[in-house]
Amino acid sequence: MLYDVPGRADPIISSDLLEQWNQTIQDAYDRLGNWKNRFFTLDPSSLKNPVRAPIKWFGDPAEPAFCLDEPTAKQLCDWGVPGRHILHNEYCEYRIIEKPDATGKMRPKRVQVTTELREYWACIAKFDPVAVRAMVENVLGFLPSWEALYGVSNPSLLSPSQREIAFSRRVAGHGNKQELVSAGVPEQPTGALNQDNALFMTHPINGLDDLLYIVMFGAAPYVIRTDTGLKSAIREQIFRQYNVEGLACRHADPAAAMGAQGAAMNGQTVAFDNPLGMYILSFNHPVFRYQDQAVPEEWIRFSRGEKDMYQRLEFGPSDTDEAFLDDIVVEVGSDIKPLTGGFQVLQQIEIGPIIVVGESTPVAEDEYVILRTSSEPIRCRDAGICDRIHQLKQQYDNAQKIGRVGPRQMGVLS
């Protein structure tokens, strides 16, 4: 089975490149060998009478909200590159584009949202520099220099592995790939293309391997023994059993894992439908209003995929429009607030992979995974990530103090 490119966003990709993308998927799957069982397959065409599973979640980062509070989460997530690189880990990243208004003040103009996998872009960049350059032009509207993509003037002189390292250093980050880490590639890209814009996802947790892992991790009939027999295990017991309680504190991982576990309890095999990718599944745009009207349709621009498989959204006025993003308000019930950044947009976006499950089959007794862990609530505020988020908050506060000019104090004449 050959997967098409994510979202079928690049139909002109050659058959050789498509094979390389499928090899990338296969390699990531093979590295997760400990989680292989009959309840997950990499071939959706092998499923009998497959149906789609309703697995999706909201795109706004959960961790800063439970570590601190929602207003602070919004503040930190909207804080440019630092906020994105540390906090955007729900398989959805964004960049706020600012422009000067008539007075010269910089204001938010629109939000770029992406769910595209870094591994796909890195794969194309590794084997076909011309193709990846065209993809960037298609997304950003200008042809990037070879230096911006690879840090060299002629990437065709590099080997494929050298191109992968160079592209990852400038545009993609290392994605927790050991070969790239060993080559000195930083966690996040150093170049401007994917910092000034949300070209594709770069947070290491938003990777292909993590996506495969969390679905494969969940795809097992986890149960506990009770006086009346076996009973389906709950989220806390499953994540606690494998010492990954922190994953239960996000939107994405519990939704993906528990959806897969529910299918396995029915004896159903789970698969990523073709094409494998991460998609924007819904956008509740009616909550956004401009001058007491629905926002103009041209302010909602989906791309990078066929309908129902979009991987990119640009939301807000264009450069030729006099309006700005913060001229829009968000109306949720009686709560009306100005739209000032991307966090509020992601709160209205549902994302997820397209998951399908096969027919139900009997689950053999030896296939059940019996857990013996506590069902007590997981205390998300105690998660290790909270220390890093508190540090980010302190950095943010310090930056705001540095950015302010204090009142001038007059000296006392003697």
Each residue's pLDDT tens digit, 120-157: 999 999 999 999 999 999 999 999 999 999 999 999 99
Identify the pLDDT of residue 1. 61
Average pLDDT, the chain: 94
Mean pLDDT of 273-288: 97
Sequence-ordered list of residues with C-beta below 8 angstroms from that of 271, at least 6 positions apart, any chain: 40, 41, 42, 43, 44, 46, 47, 50, 355, 356, 357, 358
Closest among 145, 149, 186, 179 to 166, alpha carbons compared: 149
Identify the pLDDT of residue 335. 87
- In this predicted model, which residue has the larger pLDDT, 408 or 196? 196
* DSSP-assigned states of every residue in 324-380: -GGGEEEEETTEEEE--SHHHHHTTEEEE--EEE----PPPGGG-EE-----SPP-G
Instruction: Select, from the ranges 111-115, 223-227, 402-406, the one with the highest average predicted confidence (pLDDT).
Output: 111-115
Residue type, 379: R
- Residue 23: how many CB atoms within 10 A of its CB? 11
Split at pLDDT 50, 70, 90, the class of 404 is: low
Split at pLDDT 50, 70, 90, the class of 403 is: low
Do 147 and 166 meet the contact criterion of CB atoms below 8 Å apart? no
User: Which pair of tokens denotes residue 258?
Assistant: 């528990």
Name the H helices within 219-251. Answer: 235-241
Identify the pLDDT of residue 414. 34
Identify the pLDDT of residue 382. 85
CA 292 to chain CA mean position, Å: 32
Q: Is the pLDDT of residue 396 over 80?
A: yes
- Residue 344: how many CB atoms within 10 A of its CB? 22
CA distance 149 to 132: 9
Q: Is the pLDDT of residue 61 over 50?
A: yes
Q: Is the pLDDT of residue 307 over 70?
A: yes
pLDDT in tens, 50-59: 999 989 999 9
Identify the pLDDT of residue 410. 42
pLDDT in tens, 201-249: 999 999 999 999 999 999 999 999 998 999 999 999 999 999 999 999 9
pLDDT in tens, 14-46: 999 999 999 999 999 999 989 999 999 999 999
Identify the pLDDT of residue 219. 97
Q: Is residue 212 classed as helix, strand or coil in its secondary structure?
A: helix
Q: Is the pLDDT of residue 406 over 60?
A: no
CA distance 389 to 320: 37
Split at pLDDT 50, 70, 90, the class of 412 is: very low
CA distance 257 to 117: 19
Q: Is the pLDDT of residue 284 over 50?
A: yes
Split at pLDDT 50, 70, 90, the class of 409 is: very low
Judge if the upstream peptide bond of residue 254 is cis by omega within 30 degrees of 0.
Answer: no
Sequence-ordered list of residues with C-beta below 8 angstroms from that of 306, at least 6 positions apart, any chain: 7, 8, 9
Q: Is the pLDDT of residue 407 over 70?
A: no
Residue reference for tokens 């609530």:
377
Sequence-ordered list of residues with C-beta below 8 angstroms from that of 280, at least 6 positions apart, any chain: 113, 115, 302, 310, 311, 312, 313, 349, 350, 351
pLDDT in tens, 190-204: 999 999 999 999 999
Do 55 and 162 meet the contact criterion of CB atoms below 8 Å apart? no
Q: Is residue 93 classed as helix, strand or coil in its secondary structure?
A: strand
